[in-house]
Structures are given as C-alpha cells and as structure tokens.
Amino acid sequence: MEKEICKNCERLLKQNESLKKRMDELEARLKAYENAHTPSSFSRRRYPKPTPTGNPIGAPFSHPGKTRPQKKPGRIIDVLAKHCPDCESELSEPIEIQKKIIEDLPEPRQIVVTQFNQCVCRCLHCGKMVKATHPDLPEKGRLGPRLLTEISLLRYEDRLPFRKIAKQLQSQYGLTLTPASIHEAVQRTTAASEPAYDELNQEIQLSRGVNSDETSQNVQGERWWTWVFRTLTSVLFVNRTSRGQAPLQEVLGHDYQGIVTCDGWKPYSAVVKKIQRCWAHLLREAKWLGQEKKRQAKKMYRALCSLFADLKKQRELQLSFYKREQEKRRLEKEMDGIIQFGQRYERTKKFAQKIANGKDHWFTCVVHPEIEPTNNAAERALREVVIQRKIAGTLRNQKGTHAMEVLMSLIQTWKLRGQNPREMLLETIRGS
C-alpha cells in the first residue's frame, strides 16, 4: 500500500512539473499578444462599461448649431414651367422666384490622349543630337505625370489595392488598366522620387533630434521590419529584414551626433550615444504591472507618475544649462530610489532592472528641452503603416516594399510641412 502511494506521488509530481512547464510556455506566448504595449485593436482585454450619466444622448438643448458655409454658384439655371400639370393650360409670368443652391459631382471625365511630336536637332557648333523635352512627356511608358500621381495617391494615401485602383480609374475616367500596369506605374513614380527620398535621408543624418520606432511587416511570408525616423520636418520609412543595428547605422550613420528618442530596444544604445527613453512605454508598463501584481507595483507606478510630472515641470522652466544638469542629477537620484524599492520585491524585481538598464537615458530631455520625453511622434507616423498592413496583409515582393518606403516617406513629409502631396508629387515626377 505504501509503495503504491509513493508511486502515485511521483507520478503526480511529474505531471505537475509538466503542467507547470506547459503553463509557463503558454503564458509566454500570450504575452506576445497581451502586454503593456499591445494596441487596443489587438487586445482582447475587457474594459469595464462606463457608468451611465443619465443625460440624454446628443448635443445639449442650448448647444448652438453649425451649418457648412454656402459656396458661390458657378452656373445658374432658370427652371420654368410653361403649362399647368393638371389642365395643360398656359401659365402666367413668374410671380415669385425661389432660389435653391445645390452641390453635385461633375460627369465622369474622359482620359486626355496627347501626341507629342519631339523634334530632334543637331547642334551647329559641336554636332550633338538634341531631342526636345516636355514636362508632361515621360521618358518611358505611355502614362503621363498626372495619371502617375493619381495612381500613387490612390495606393498610398487612399489605401486602395491595385484591383480597386483599376476599378476606380475605369469608373471615373473610362481608362482600362490591369493591376500589373498599375504596379508598373507605381514603380516609375518611385524611380522618379528616389532623389527626393535620398535628400530626406541626408536631412535625418544632419538632424539634432529624431524619433525612431519599428514594426513588423510580412513580405512574401518572411518577416521584415519597417523602421520610421521622424524629425520636426521630415519622415523617413525604411523596410529591412533586420531589427538590429544595421538599419540604424545605414540611416543615421556610424557617428550620429543628435539625440534619438526611442523605446528600450538594445540596438539603439549600441549605435547612438545620446538617447531619450520613452516615458509613455515606461508608464504604460508600470500601470499594466500594477493591475497584475498590485501593492508594490502600484506604489512604483504612482512614484513614476509623480516623477514624470516633475520632469515635465522642469522642462518648461527657463533654466541655464548648468541648472538643468543639476535638476537631471536630482531626478536620477529619485529614480534610483524607485529602482531600489522595486528590486527588494520578487514581483517587481525584473521591472526595476529594466528601468535600471536605461538609467542614463530617462532624463536627457531635461538638459535638452527641445526633445520630447515620449516617442509618440514616431508611433503616430507608424500608424499609417500599420493600417495599410492590415488592409494588404502581405507585400508580394521587394519592389513593393521599396515603393512603399519611398512614396509614404514623401507623402507624410509633405503633410508634416503643410504642403499639398498631389502638387509636390506631380512636381517631383515632372522634374525627374
């Protein structure tokens, strides 16, 4: 009897060990989908329902309405009836004229087909053969610059797949193009935009500060990474197979002198000297930990929130560089206290060590107040990439990845500068 009990205990211990290992494995896999940085669209967390206020739905009774301003009519049509609809007798002269202004769409426009007669002449001095050029005459292909611009904007601003673009061009302009032809048109626009894209890369390398982030991308079933580098006036996207140091060195150079605002990904600290770690990531993770572990984690979260409020206050003050260095050291000492508190408890030890690993990079923005303490600028720039990834699912080839990084970089940069993407892209294609 005793031997049988011992055997059962051993069997249960082995089973328990196996189940524990399986549970740890499943929890690790679950954290890839549900963690402090999981977007709300991916998360399956159930948030509490809002408490009803008791107020009626809609605007308050005294809320002033707002009407869209009426535009000036471009044409006037007189609507006149000559006979009575009941007895078909003639009507008198108009007694009253009621004006009604409407807005409507024009009829679908037909594509413009133009023949260019290029004159080829010989130079009377050196004998060189010279062919005349025109801004609307492309070197290759039969699609003009306005059509190339329209296709590129439908693809990377309106987020339409190639088959939808073909359908749109057919219904709006009566133009029949295959998806393959549209893909080729995008490639020609990309080739014409290469010089402008290279200029953006040079601007990033010479900038005093840049926000950087990355997100995964599926290219022919392989995992790529879309990197974004955003300054106050420029946005640069780069698609690479690596999430390591190589893309950073390629874009920023081997001796970048500016400040990079980023999350805690290790390659940044290996390539860049001056870093501002993202406080939004830190506070989000502290809040998540507080919801799971409670007590000590909640205390750490409250302390970090108080420290962040102090950081923002110091950035807004008009202080000398020496005084800002002093405030930075003071804040770092307070952060040391939070780290030491977290390292005393098993539940918060790992999180405290994570904070300690970036100890030198949490308060860079105090000495350099022109740098933001969060990386929200880069995350907002990546939002368009994520939306298009959800629509397309996967990029079919490397040509498509390059076209995306070039054209989306230029479109977002022009928007950031308050320029019209349509006009700027048309000018870029004509100037190529």
Q: pLDDT value at position 109?
A: 82
Structure tokens belonging to residue 15: 């089973």
Q: What is the pTM of this model?
A: 0.81
Tell me the CA distances in angstroms from 356 to 207, 240, 336, one per residue in order. 28, 30, 8
pLDDT-derived band at 144 (thresholds 50, 70, 90) equals very high
In a domain, 328, yes or no: yes
Q: Could you report the per-residue pLDDT of 177-224, keeping only the tens digit for each?
A: 999 999 999 999 999 999 999 999 999 999 999 999 999 988 888 899
In a domain, 362, yes or no: yes
Q: pLDDT value at position 425?
A: 96
pLDDT score of 45 more than 60: no
Which residue carries 């393959």 as its tokens? 180
Q: What is the 3-state secondary structure (H, E, C) of the chain?
A: CHHHHHHHHHHHHHHHHHHHHHHHHHHHHHHCCCCCCCCCCCCCCCCCCCCCCCCCCCCCCCCCCCCCCCCCCCCCCCCCCCECCCCCCECCCCCCCCCCCCCCCCCCCCCCCCCCCCCEEECCCCCCEEECCCCCCCCCCCCCHHHHHHHHHHHHCCCCCHHHHHHHHHHHHCCCCCHHHHHHHHHHHHHHHHHHHHHHHHHHHHCCEEEEEEEEEEECCEEEEEEEEECCCCEEEEEECCCCHHHHHHHHCCCCCCEEEECCCHHHHHHCCEEEECHHHHHHHHHHHHHHHCCHHHHHHHHHHHHHHHHHHHHHCCCCHHHHHHHHHHHHHHHHHHHHHHHCCHHHHHHHHHHHHCHHHCCHHHHCCCCCCCCHHHHHHHHHHHHHHHHHCCECCHHHHHHHHHHHHHHHHHHHCCCCHHHHHHHHHHCC
Write down the mean pLDDT value for the chain: 88
pLDDT-derived band at 382 (thresholds 50, 70, 90) equals very high
In a domain, 60, yes or no: no
In a domain, 353, yes or no: yes
Q: What is the mean pLDDT of residues 113-140?
A: 89
Distance CA 395, CA 217 (A): 8
392 versus 242: the higher-pLDDT residue is: 242
Q: pLDDT value at position 329?
A: 93
In a domain, 339, yes or no: yes
pLDDT score of 426 more than 90: yes
Q: pLDDT value at position 35?
A: 59
In a domain, 2, yes or no: no
Q: Which amino acid is at 358?
A: G
pLDDT score of 6 more than 90: no
pLDDT score of 46 more than 80: no
Distance CA 402, CA 238 (A): 8
Range of the domain at 363: 279-367
Q: Could you report the per-residue pLDDT of 69-86, keeping only the tens digit for each?
A: 888 898 999 888 888 888
In a domain, 258, yes or no: no
Percent of the chain with pLDDT over 70: 95
- Counting every residue written for the chain, the total comes to 432
Structural domain tally of the chain? 1
Tell me the CA distances in angstroms from 332 to 207, 338, 358, one per residue in order. 27, 10, 11
Q: Could you report the per-residue pLDDT of 225-254, keeping only the tens digit for each?
A: 999 999 999 999 999 999 999 999 999 988
Q: pLDDT value at position 44?
A: 53
Q: pLDDT value at position 390?
A: 86
pLDDT score of 293 more than 70: no
- Cβ count within 10 A of residue 151: 26
Q: pLDDT value at position 278?
A: 93
Q: Which among 100-104, 312-316, 351-355, 419-423 has the top mean pLDDT? A: 419-423
Q: What is the mean pLDDT of residues 279-305?
A: 87
Least confident of 33-37, 81-85, 410-414: 33-37
Q: pLDDT value at position 150?
A: 95
Q: pLDDT value at position 400?
A: 87
Which among 354, 358, 215 is positioned nearest to 286, based on CA atoms?
A: 354
In a domain, 188, yes or no: no
Q: pLDDT value at position 57?
A: 78
